[in-house]
């Protein structure tokens, strides 16, 4: 199996087999990214299809430096496409809700999280909160970028992020208490 | 709180970075084919867009260009003086000396002739009784001015005045005929006039001599402002779109795609051909035969090229159904030459007087025929442009990287434009009119042989030899002549497979 750099070079040379191999090796992970945004599997697959067209187009100019850089770049493309998909299907409506005040949470993160369940609980959040949380926390977009991608203004996005964190924090607290 | 958030965010990032949702083999296959087809569609439209833009730009540029160019031919000017019964002391005749001097001048203008023309001078005289009216179809202001200037120089202004006062201004044609030299003149006149101004002699002004000398034929040559009506705007719409609709490239959803949907592959050809054009005339009468001879004499070789883009419709096996868009430009030089003459017979005082031994002017009488010989030449490209939709069935056999193919098909016109000139009986020509070269919608039948080499999975290069037979009579002019056109073309192209 060719390493990423070699594979990317073959893709740049126009080899279709290399494209297919690249797709096979990365699609599960990208499907994971898509499904962090889109709950329905069929929707996530449609999103993936659009995202890979952009990925293959972008790969021609992509300068590989590390796996993290490659997957970070792909994650961003898939996440952007997922947001577009959601917007296209009007699955959520963005509203400027009042910014709610944060409550004081626990002072530190529990030593052991129930990691397997983290994303499951993330998926239980309201869709707009989930999107902002994903984009900000996991994909690393700034609030300004999130505004550009989603149309949610920065203040609202901060609010959504706060609420998402608060919900997740409550869930973690419950888990920790149960554990205690 | 920040620390807590940071820790929680990190945990989420860590979990997310390892998070995968496995796709089944079938799901991956379906998504992959959807990606391929979506990519193909994008590339296809990009190519079509680029090709369409090039064609539109080309059509626009051609539309902007003047349909032909008119080249004025070289023109020679000679003045032939004819008299009768030359006096024995010819050398002493001032007028003739003057004329000789003019011929001795190397400068080819009205006032100067080449030396060799001197030998052509024959002096004719008519008697004073026979003097009459001289028809002067061309105003010879320039000649007269030149003569007067020279006469003034030789005799002084008074003599010139006397000459004009004494000299009858016109001589009748009858008088000239009776003089015995008109037959020759008439012969010369008829011959040259027919050659030169056949179209102009029937009640048309022949123009002024200075205009002729300056080579201004603009009022004589049929101009080609309107060749074939206004070119129809280029329409890429209906037939092309109809053909492309066959692609059936609807929005693909992964849920709709299975392996059975992806059999076959598409391609786009871009090609350029250089053509060898052969025409065959069929004359059905003597008139047609004359026209056929005229085309042989007045038209040059054909030049033709065609370029286009084609794409295939999905078919099973090694067969493909191709359709596309093609532009063809066929040119042929129309090089029409006619020689002719403008005549100016005038009463020439120099020829009628000489100074005798006693130093007195003696009236001789006579006439001078000034003949301005001209050559008109019209060189204009006859241009035939076509935008076509070729539809072909192609059989292609591949062996490793080599490809051999044969295609058969037809082409239909969606746009055509013609500019230039056409011959009409009587050794004349006229510009194209609507209906000439009218090919209507059906253009040609064609067969091509292809040999290709696969450069990469996507790209192939190929060479092509073809034979195109244009349907019907190319020269739909209603005359007794038909022209059929066939093209042998050699071309090359690239094929992008998807």
Interface with B, mutate which of A73, A101, A135, A138 (most B CBs under 10 A): A138
Strand partners, B418: B384
Tell me the shortest Cα–Cα distance from A118 to chain B, in angstroms. Answer: 7
At residue B373, the 3 state secondary structure works out as: strand
Task: Give the domain CATH number at A131.
Answer: 1.10.10.10
Question: B115 and B88, same structural domain?
Answer: yes
Contact (CB<8Å) A53/B38: yes
Structure tokens at B271: 């090609």
Nearest CA-CA distance, residue B43 and chain A, Å: 11
Q: What's the pLDDT at B466?
A: 93
Strands (E), B347-480: 353-355, 361-363, 368-399, 402-419, 421-424, 428-431, 434-437, 442-454, 459-470
Q: Which domain holds residue B354?
A: 82-222+340-376
Structure tokens at B438: 């009218």
**Contact A102/B1, CB-based, under 8 Å?**
yes
Per-residue DSSP letter, B264: S
Are A36 and A78 part of one and the same domain?
A: yes
Q: How far is CA B225 from CA A68, B172, B220, B288, B430, in A?
A: 69, 42, 14, 27, 12
Taking the C-alpha atoms of residue A74 and residue A78, their distance in angstroms, rounded to an integer, is 6
Domain extent, residue A54, equals 4-88
CB contacts, 8 Å: B5 with chain A: 165
Q: Cβ distance A53 to B35 under 8 Å?
A: yes
Please list the residues that pair with B391 across neighbouring strands. B323, B410
Please give the Cα distance from B28 to A20 (Å, whole number). 10
User: Hunting for tokens 């999905």 — which residue is that?
Assistant: B314
pLDDT at A41: 86
- pLDDT, one tens digit for every residue, chain B (498 residues): 555 667 777 777 777 777 888 888 888 888 888 888 877 777 777 777 777 777 777 666 655 554 443 333 333 333 333 333 333 333 333 333 333 333 333 333 333 333 333 333 333 333 333 333 333 333 334 444 454 554 455 444 332 222 233 333 333 333 333 333 333 334 344 444 443 333 333 333 333 333 333 433 333 333 333 333 333 333 334 343 344 344 333 333 333 333 333 334 678 889 999 988 988 888 888 888 888 888 888 888 888 999 999 988 766 678 888 999 999 999 988 888 776 555 555 555 545 555 667 767 665 555 555 555 556 677 888 888 889 999 999 998 887 788 899 999 999 888 888 888 888 876 778 888 777 777 667 788 999 999 988 887 778 889 999 999 987 788 777 778 888 889 998 988 998 877
Inter-chain contact A137–B13, Cβ cutoff 8 Å?
Answer: yes
Alpha helices, DSSP H only, in B65-93?
A: none
- Give the phi and the psi of residue B101 in degrees, each rounded to 5: -55, -40
Asked if residue B42 is part of any domain, the answer here is: no
The helix/strand/coil state of B437 is strand
B9: nearest CB among A44, A115, A137: A137
d(C-alpha A58, C-alpha A70), whole Å: 11
Question: Would A104 be classed as within a structural domain?
Answer: no
Number of domains in chain A: 2
B31–A contact, CB cutoff 8 A: yes
> Which segment of A68-72, A88-92, A134-138, B494-498 scores lowest on mean pLDDT?
A88-92
Buried b (16+ CB within 10 A) or exposed e, A119-152: beebeebebbbbbbbbbbbbbebebebbbebbeb
Residues 243-262 of B with CB under 8 A from A: 252-255
Asked if A121 and A165 sit in the same domain, the reply is yes
Q: Does A42 touch chain B (CB under 8 A)?
A: yes
Distance from CA of A148 to the nearest CA of B (A): 22
Between A and B, how many CB-CB pairs are < 8 A?
110
In chain A, which residue's Cα lies nearest the Cα of B255? A42
- CATH of residue B239's domain is 2.40.160.20
Would you state the pLDDT for residue B361?
62
Are B441 and B306 in a shared domain? yes
As to burial, measured by CB atoms within 10 angstroms (0-12 exposed, 13-18 middle, 19+ buried), residue B296 is exposed
Tens of pLDDT, residues A13-53: 888 888 899 999 999 999 988 888 887 888 888 899 889 98
**SS3 (DSSP) at B53:** helix
Q: Do B31 and A52 touch (CB under 8 A)?
A: yes
B89 and B200 together in one domain: yes
Establish if B66 belongs to a structural domain: no
Q: Considering only CB atoms, which chain A residues are within 8 Å of B257? A: none
CB B361 within 8 A of CB B93: no
From A57's Cα to the closest Cα of chain B, the distance in A is 9
């Amino acid at each position: 199996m060719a390493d990423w750099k070699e594979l990317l070079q073959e893709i740049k040379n126009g080899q279709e087999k290399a494209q297919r191999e690249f797709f096979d090796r990365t699609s599960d992970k990208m499907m994971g990214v898509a499904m962090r945004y889109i709950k329905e599997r069929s929707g996530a697959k449609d999103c993936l299809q659009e995202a890979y067209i952009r990925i293959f187009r972008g790969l021609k100019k992509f300068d590989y430096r590390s796996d993290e850089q490659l997957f970070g770049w792909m994650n961003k493309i898939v996440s952007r496409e997922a947001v577009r998909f959601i917007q296209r299907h009007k699955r959520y409506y963005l509203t400027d809700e009042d910014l709610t005040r944060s409550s004081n949470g626990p002072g530190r993160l529990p030593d052991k999280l129930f990691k397997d369940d983290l994303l499951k609980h993330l998926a239980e959040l309201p869709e707009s909160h989930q999107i902002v949380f994903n984009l900000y926390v996991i994909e690393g977009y700034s609030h300004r970028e999130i505004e550009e991608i989603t149309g949610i203004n920065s203040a609202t996005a901060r609010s959504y992020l706060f609420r998402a964190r608060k919900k997740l924090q409550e869930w973690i607290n419950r888990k920790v208490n149960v554990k205690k | 709180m920040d620390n807590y958030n940071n820790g929680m965010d990190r945990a989420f990032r860590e979990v997310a970075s390892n998070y995968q949702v496995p796709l089944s083999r079938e799901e991956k296959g379906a998504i992959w084919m959807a990606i391929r087809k979506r990519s193909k569609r994008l590339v296809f439209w990009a190519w079509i867009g680029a090709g369409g833009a090039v064609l539109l730009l080309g059509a626009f540029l051609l539309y902007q260009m003047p349909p032909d160019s008119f080249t004025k031919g070289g023109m020679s000017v000679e003045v032939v003086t004819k008299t009768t019964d030359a006096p024995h002391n010819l050398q002493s005749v001032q007028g003739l000396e003057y004329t000789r001097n003019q011929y001795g001048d190397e400068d080819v203008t009205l006032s100067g002739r080449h030396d060799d023309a001197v030998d052509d001078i024959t002096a004719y005289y008519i008697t004073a009784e026979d003097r009459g009216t001289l028809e002067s179809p061309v105003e010879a202001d320039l000649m007269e001015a030149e003569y007067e200037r020279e006469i003034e120089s030789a005799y002084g202004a008074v003599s010139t005045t006397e000459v004009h006062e004494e000299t009858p201004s016109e001589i009748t044609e009858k008088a000239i005929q009776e003089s015995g030299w008109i037959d020759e003149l008439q012969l010369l006149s008829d011959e040259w006039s027919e050659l030169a101004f056949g179209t102009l002699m029937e009640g048309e002004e022949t123009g002024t001599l200075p205009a002729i000398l300056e080579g201004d034929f603009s009022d004589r040559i049929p101009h080609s402002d309107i060749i074939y009506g206004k070119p129809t705007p280029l329409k890429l719409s209906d037939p092309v779109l109809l053909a492309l609709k066959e692609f059936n490239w609807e929005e693909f959803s992964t849920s709709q795609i299975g392996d059975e949907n992806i059999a076959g592959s598409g391609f786009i050809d871009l090609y350029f051909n250089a053509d060898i054009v052969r025409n065959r005339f069929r004359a059905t009468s003597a008139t047609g035969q004359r026209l056929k001879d005229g085309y042989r004499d007045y038209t040059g070789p054909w030049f033709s090229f065609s370029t286009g883009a084609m794409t295939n419709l999905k078919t099973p096996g090694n067969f493909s159904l191709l359709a596309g868009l093609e532009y063809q430009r066929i040119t042929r030089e129309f090089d029409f030459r006619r020689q002719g003459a403008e005549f100016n017979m005038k009463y020439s005082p120099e020829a009628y007087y000489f100074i005798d031994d006693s130093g007195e002017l003696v009236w001789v009488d006579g006439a001078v025929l000034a003949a301005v010989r001209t050559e008109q030449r019209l060189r204009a490209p006859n241009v035939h442009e076509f935008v076509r939709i070729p539809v072909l069935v192609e059989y292609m056999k591949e062996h490793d990287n080599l490809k051999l193919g044969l295609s058969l098909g037809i082409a239909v016109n969606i746009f055509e434009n013609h500019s230039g000139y056409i011959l009409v009986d009587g050794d004349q020509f006229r510009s194209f009119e609507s209906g000439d070269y009218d090919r209507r919608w059906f253009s040609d039948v064609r067969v091509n042989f292809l040999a290709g080499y696969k450069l990469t999975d996507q790209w192939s290069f190929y060479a092509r030899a073809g034979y195109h037979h244009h349907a019907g009579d190319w020269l739909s002019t209603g005359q007794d002549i038909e022209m059929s056109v066939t093209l042998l073309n050699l071309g090359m192209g690239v094929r992008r497979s998807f």
